[in-house]
Structure formats: C-alpha cells, structure tokens
Amino acid sequence: MVSMRRTVVPTLAVWAAAVAVLAVAFPFLAVHPRAHGHRADAASSSPGVWYQSLEGGSGAWTVANANGSIAAAATVPGDVHTALYSAGLIPDPYWRDNDVTYRWVALDDWTYSMKFVADSGLLLNKVVMLVCEGLDTVATVTLNSVQIGQTDNQFRRYSWDVSNVITSGYNTISIKFQSAATYAADKAQAYPYSVPFTAYPTQEPYRNFIRKSQCSFAWDWGPCFIPQGIWKAIGLQSYSEAVITDSSVQIFPVSSSIFTVMSRVELTATAGATGKLVASIPDLGVSASQQVTLQEGSNWIIVNLTCQNPDLWWPVGLGPSTRKIYELQLTFTGGLLSESSISRNVGFRDVKVVQDELSDGESFYFTVNGVPVFAKGANWIPADSFHSRVTHDILQALLQSAVDANMNIVRVWGGGIYQNDEFYDLADEMGLMVWQEFMFACSLYPRDKTFLANVAEEVAQQVRRLESHPSVVIWGANNENEVALAGWYEESNENKQLYTVDYSILYINTIRTSVRNEDMTRDFQSSSPTNAPLVDSNEMWVGRWGDGNSETSGDLHFYSGSDCWDVDTFPNPRFASEYGYQSFPSMYTWSEATDPSDWYIDSPMMEHRQHSPSWNEMLDDMISLHFKFPANPDATQQFEYYVYVSQIVQGLCVKYESEHYRRGREAYTTMGAIYWQLNDIWQGPTWSSMEYNGRWKLAHNYAVDFFAPTLISSYEKPVNTLQVYAVSDLEDSITSSSLLIEAVSWADGSVLGKWSTTFSINPQTSSKVYSNTISSMIGARKRSECVFVLTWTNSLGELLSENTFFLSDFQDVSLPSPNITVSNVTSIDESSARLTLSSSTMAPFVFLQTSIPGRFSKNGFLIRPKTIYTVEFYGKSAFNPEDLLGNLTTTSLRETYI
C-alpha cells in the first residue's frame, strides 16, 4: 500500500531451509521479497522479522459453496465469480444477461480454504500474526479449526495473533464468507427504522448497511454481482521484538522551499522491546532517529524531518514536465538486531482549496504551490466488477489516457472502492490530482455505534495509506448524500430532523474527526456537491444546510436531457464536479458481451444493459433534435449507425458544456470541469468517454481539444449573435495572436467568407475576442448552407486551437456522399503509424476504427475537400502497418442516412 516495501531479513541458513521445505511441499507458496501493502516481506539477514505470503495461483486455494456441491480452485487475490469462471463452472459473467442469470453466486455463502506448511523462519519468532489486507466482506476466519477473527468491512486491514494456533507441520486456513446481500438485508430489517437508498435496475437492496463497494449492488451504469473473496494480499508475519505495521506521513509546508515531514510509525512489539527508529530521505540527504522502549502491542512513534529546497510536485500542465517523487525510508532496528523497514513515496507541494467570499457567494478552486489551477478532468469508477482483473497495465492505460486528453484531475467517486496503491503511484508520476472520496454514495446510512466505529477505523486506515501521495488534494465525505438528504427520499422528507442528525453524526462527528486525527494538511469536504461551510476550523464545523447544489458556492452536479446546443441550459457554477451524457460503446466493445442477434435498436439486450431506464429514450430524443435518426433496411447496420451517432451526440454535448465552464473562468469564476465519467465497469450504454476495454469514444477524442491548454470557443447568445472566447491555462501571456473565422460551404467546401482579428491574452484566463451578428456574416445564405471554422494561431503562425460552430441542425444540412481515402500508412515505430486521409466532399464526424487495440491521434473530425489530413495511430503493442490499413474503417455522418 502506498509503495510501501517492507524489508525483513532472516539469516541465510534459515532462508535456505525455509525455501527448501516450501519448494518440496508446496511449490506455489514461494516466499520472496515483494513491494505490496502494509506487509513485512521476506528478504535476507535477520531472524527477527519474517513474512510468508499465503497468496497463490490456481490450485493453492479452493473455494466451495455452503453445501459443498460446487468447488473450484481459486486464485488469491481474487473472488468467487472469477474462480468459477476459470474452472468452467459458469460462463463469462459479463456475457449478455449473465449478471442476472448467475445471481445465485452472490446469494450463496462461500468458503476459501488452503493447507500450507509454515516457514521455519516464521516460527523462530515469538509472535505470529495473520494479516489480511482485504477480505470482501463478511467473513469468519479459522486456522486449524480455531476461530481467530471476523470481518465486516471490505476496506479495512485485519490482523490477528495466531502464535498459539499455528504449527510447524501442516496448517489449514479457512475463510467463510456470508452473502453480502443476505447480511445487508438482515441488518436493515433489524434496524429500528428505515434508512433509504437509491434503487437501480437488477439490484439487490440495502447496500447502505454494509461497508462494501456500493456499486457492486448495481448502479445506473453497472451490473450487480456483489463479489465475495480474498480480494487483497494475505500472509503471515512474525517478529520477536517489533515490526512496523502501519505509518502515517504528513507533509507540512513551512515556506515555499521548506517542508516538515512528520512520520507517525506504528510499531507492534513484544513487552520491553527496545531499538531505534530512523526516518530518512536519501535524495535530500536528511535523516532523523528516535531511541524507543516499547510496550507490548501497538506503539505509535513520531519522527520529524526538515526538508529544504526539494523539487516541488506540480500537476501536469504546470511546472516541469516531469515530477520528482522522493523515497521516504522508515527503519526500525531492534536491540537484538532484528530489522523492519518500509518506504513510502512522497512529494512536496502546498495545496489549498480556496473558498473566499465573493459579492454573490464564495469561490471554489485549488491552488498548488500558490498558483490557481483550473481543474480539468473526469470522474473515476471501478474499472471492473472483479477487482483482481484490473492490472497495472489497465490502470496505466486509463490514467495515461486522462493525461493524453489534457486532464489534470480525476475524482475517485464514492460509490466504488479506494483504489490500489498503483493507482496513486501512477497519479503521482503523471501529475494527476486526485479528489478522493470516502465510499458512501446516493444513500442515507445507519448510525449505530458498531457501524460508526467500523467506519472510523476504515477512514483512519485509508487516510494513513493515501496521505503521503502528493496527487491526493482533497478528501470528500460522500457522493450526493447531502442533496439526497435534502429531498430525494420520502422517509427523510417526512422526518428531516432524524436523518439530518444521522447525517451529521456519520460525516462530521465520525468521518471528519477521523480524517482530522490523521491528516491536517488537506481540506475536507462534507459531500459532493455541497456549499462552502459557514465555519470549518479545528474547533468546529458548521454547514450551510439547504440547497447543496448551488451555483454560487462549493461544487455542483448537473444533468439534463435539455438541448445541449443551447448555452442557456447550462448552469454557471464555481466548480462543476459532475456533468455528462450517455452513449453506447463501439461495436467492437459491444460485441464482446452480446450476440449478433442482439444488434438491433430496442432489442431486449439493449434495454437490459441500460441501467438508467430513461436514457435510451433520451438518447433517441437527443439524436432526433439535431440529426436525422439513423436509418437502414438492415437492422444490424442501422444499430451500428445508431451507436456511432450516439457517440457524436455525447461528444458534442460534453464538449459544449466543458467549453462553457472554461469560458466562465472570468465571468462566473468557474474553476473546475470534471465530467461524468472517465471509464467503464463493463460493456454497456453509460456516460463514460472510454469504453470497458480502453477504447476511446468520440467524447474522449474531443476532450483532447476542449481541455487543451489553449482553446478557441464560440456560442450563440443572444440569437443571431456569435460570441468567440479565447481561453489560456498557460503561465505566460500570448501576444499578437490571430483568430481566423471561415464560413465553409457544406456543398463543396468552398470558403464563402472570412473574418479575422488580432489579440493578446493574459496568463490563465478566458476572454471574449470576437462578436458579430451571424446574419451579417452569411448574408442571404441559409444557415444550413455552411459551417464556421475557427482557427487561433500565435504570432509565429503556429496553431493554438481549432474549432467549429454549426449554424444549423444536421437535419437541415444537405450533405454530399463522401469518398474518404486512406493512404500512405507509414510506420513511426513498431507500435505506431502515420496515415493520411482525404475526401472528395465535406465529411463531418469522420470516425476511424480498427480491430487493432489502440487509439488515433484525432477522431470524429471534419474533413474538408482538397485537404490532406495526417492522423497517427498508437497501438497498445507492435503491429504491421499493412494490417492497420487492411482492417481500418471510416464512417461519416452522411452514411447514416438512407
């Protein structure tokens, strides 16, 4: 966790003996150094601390249902569904409607079990602990038929002393999981009053009564699987004196160049153990130490470092192009020379959330190292229902795609999971800020003492795990639960006082207190959306109850089926942290989970995969508002065109709204645009800009431009008046730049008129640079005859931004049939190629697709005749350019008409 590497050192003889025993008896139980989580991993040189992993591939563990009628080999970390799928006992859970057909898996109880031989080095020490980084979720753990512990929280680390239970011979560990659905229902029925939650299609109810990923019970973009299993690392840890079992790292800015690193280290010890704790950052040449005498059990020790002139961490787009991540080393050396050490990645920056009073409310924006940052990004949901399938490569590709689309922030949404350590390490390296929520969403929650104590420990553990990451810039208590309290549910509307007390006790008294106990360096937000609190200090917190979705304070969520081409439909918030529109995934992705017999409009599978019931109809309406509804006598071809046009609609709507927020930086002090959502959990119609397999939808391609550091953007307001804004996130002024507006004929691509202006723009601002009446620009021509193409260049003629303004609905535009030609496919390197395109006529929304995994440098764009366009393709792995040319398809809007 958090790039923690525990170095534990047995003698060479003990090490060799242990490996020999394990290799003969259980070759799948290799004991080896690893960098993973809050674990002390085996390395070499002292018998004082030892770690033995109990993870293993297929064959190490078995999993069986309650009556023993179904059993399979299991991989750990993993879950029941993937174990059954790997064993051939169930088909692909994501195929068609298997999320419903195989619901019985989630409703049964399952037991993981394994036999193992304890490493002899492990047993040389006085104390042996079983350490479970994550059990999902309600489990009873036994070792050699002795119950040693129980769990009821997916997000907590559990450990138990098994010194008196473990033996030198064969040991049997058993972890029995109770169905989370059954557990949650039992808790809800036993509770003295109803606690409402938002329901979704194909769900199981009462998710708010269990500390488990809320979206595993279904969401309006995802399935209901409610997995069970050992989803994180598990192992045995032993020590004779003391071992580092946890740590907390807070970095306090003293000045712009001096920082204090406060390390709180938990040493779990035997009685009377002594030793020295050392904290150091080798790259800065600083270290400090503390001599300690320890009590039996948990001991928290503080060591402070003063760091001068470290390289500062900046979000991508500001500061250096690469970010310096430092290694903080924490090492305990016992009196008997046993050693336990961990390392944590740290970065130095000063982040604040500024909520100053304005004439009409309060501001809301981030500053990093004193520089205001316009936050540009998307919301992150779990990348899979089965978390063990989310590899490092998947995380890296998704987050790199965010950076490639000029994002500088992702919001880890509160209905999923706290992401694994690799996610935050990657965000640190890439310069992506992380808005981190705690895992509560779209529900009210109980407040009995047991639940609150469970939550407090969950929050403390997660804050300690994540707080060293410079990428994490804010803690958020929940997603939308404040606005839910204000009016979503009949129960809370009828008894507002009861549920308001519940809300305050959970999020303020419990979660905020737990956060503040662990981290004083970041802002805490009581919900998203929410207004700025009246008072937020060490002494007290006072919120602004009422409309938590205000345009003049805090952050805002906005969803609408209204006409996104009309700028008046959008709010003018301080910070838009959720907004979005749906589309269907490409046919390449859709075909991974559906049968060709499903490929027609309004098919049962199209309805089943749509978990927001109104959105299929809304998509139809949004298409019909500005486009001709896709038509073709071949039902499959019609559906493929429907999928394509749905992505055009989504892409334009997200583009128009995002550009509206960026233009509002000066006029409305809008300082953030985080759309819903970046990624997908499965193959279905959702708000994502990236598909489940990582393919970019058109919306993500458009994000490259609408989140670019420099943007030229236009809209019509009032009617018949074109307004053009330039937006710059650059740290330097742009002087003597030029705007060119061309009226281009749809009929033949000829330029019907040109208008230009020269202007300069200050750093990090938005400014109106041109205004004119449309009727005076196009004269007697109909609006449907042409499109405006806007080009912004700097004083050297280099392109800063290009954009289009559609003057009419495409229903009214007479588009000629294009003849798009792809030629000159040349290799850049083994995994990328360059190709050129041209068209005989105007071709809007040209969509390039290939079966080769990867993405194009641009997509969904306008091709003008007699113009050569160069596009690059970046593959996920090596490919032959001839293969790319051979299976490349192009689609443009005209092809969707009969």
Residue 536: other Cβ atoms inside 10 A = 17
Catalytic residue (one of 480, 518, 640, 659): 480
**Which one-letter DSSP state was computed for residue 348?**
B
H/E segment holding residue 651: helix 635-667
Distance CA 48, CA 730 (A): 54
Distance CA 326, CA 311 (A): 9
Distance CA 542, CA 565 (A): 39
H/E segment holding residue 120: helix 120-123
Between CA 35 and CA 42, with CA 41 as vertex, the angle to 5 degrees is 130
> Distances in Å between the alpha carbon of 843 and those of 639, 744, 865, 892, 894?
21, 12, 8, 6, 8
Distance CA 625, CA 646 (A): 12
317-320 contact pairs (CB < 8 A, 24+): 317/406, 317/408, 317/431, 317/709, 317/729, 318/368, 318/371, 318/373, 318/408, 318/731, 319/369
Burial class (CB in 10 A: 0-12, 13-18, 19+), 485: buried
- DSSP labels, 371-429: EEE-EEEEEE--S-SSGGG--HHHHHHHHHHHHHTT--EEEE-TTS-PPPHHHHHHHHH
Q: Classify 631 as helix, strand or coil.
A: coil
Residue for token pair 């770690």: 51
Peptide bond into 529 cis (omega under 30): yes
Residue 719 CB partners (closer than 8 Å, separation 6+): none
Take residue 690 and report the two structure tokens written for it. 């990236």
Between CA 843 and CA 850, with CA 845 as vertex, the angle to 5 degrees is 105
Contact yes or no for 439/414 (Cβ under 8 A)? yes
Residue for token pair 């697709």: 849
Between CA 346 and CA 357, with CA 352 as vertex, the angle to 5 degrees is 175
Catalytic residue (one of 241, 437, 458, 578): 578
Q: In terms of DSSP bridges, do strands 375-380 and 409-412 run parallel, antiparallel, or are they unpaired?
A: parallel
Query: Can 607 be counted among the known catalytic residues?
Result: no
Q: Does the CA dihedral 180-185-190-193 come out positive or negative?
A: positive
Contact yes or no for 815/894 (Cβ under 8 A)? yes
Take residue 661 and report the two structure tokens written for it. 């927020």
Take residue 799 and report the two structure tokens written for it. 């392109």
In angstroms, how far is CA 404 from the centroid of its own chain? 15
Residue 482 CB partners (closer than 8 Å, separation 6+): 503, 526, 527, 529, 530, 548
H/E segment holding residue 80: helix 80-86
Q: Classify 821 as helix, strand or coil.
A: strand
Q: In terms of DSSP bridges, do strands 472-476 and 433-437 run parallel, antiparallel, or are they unpaired?
A: parallel
In angstroms, how far is CA 354 from the centroid of its own chain? 24
Distance CA 450, CA 506 (A): 12
Contact yes or no for 841/865 (Cβ under 8 A)? yes
H helical segments located in 736-801: 774-778
Query: Can 578 be counted among the known catalytic residues?
Result: yes
Take residue 706 and report the two structure tokens written for it. 């609408």
- Which residues are part of the catalytic machinery? 480, 578
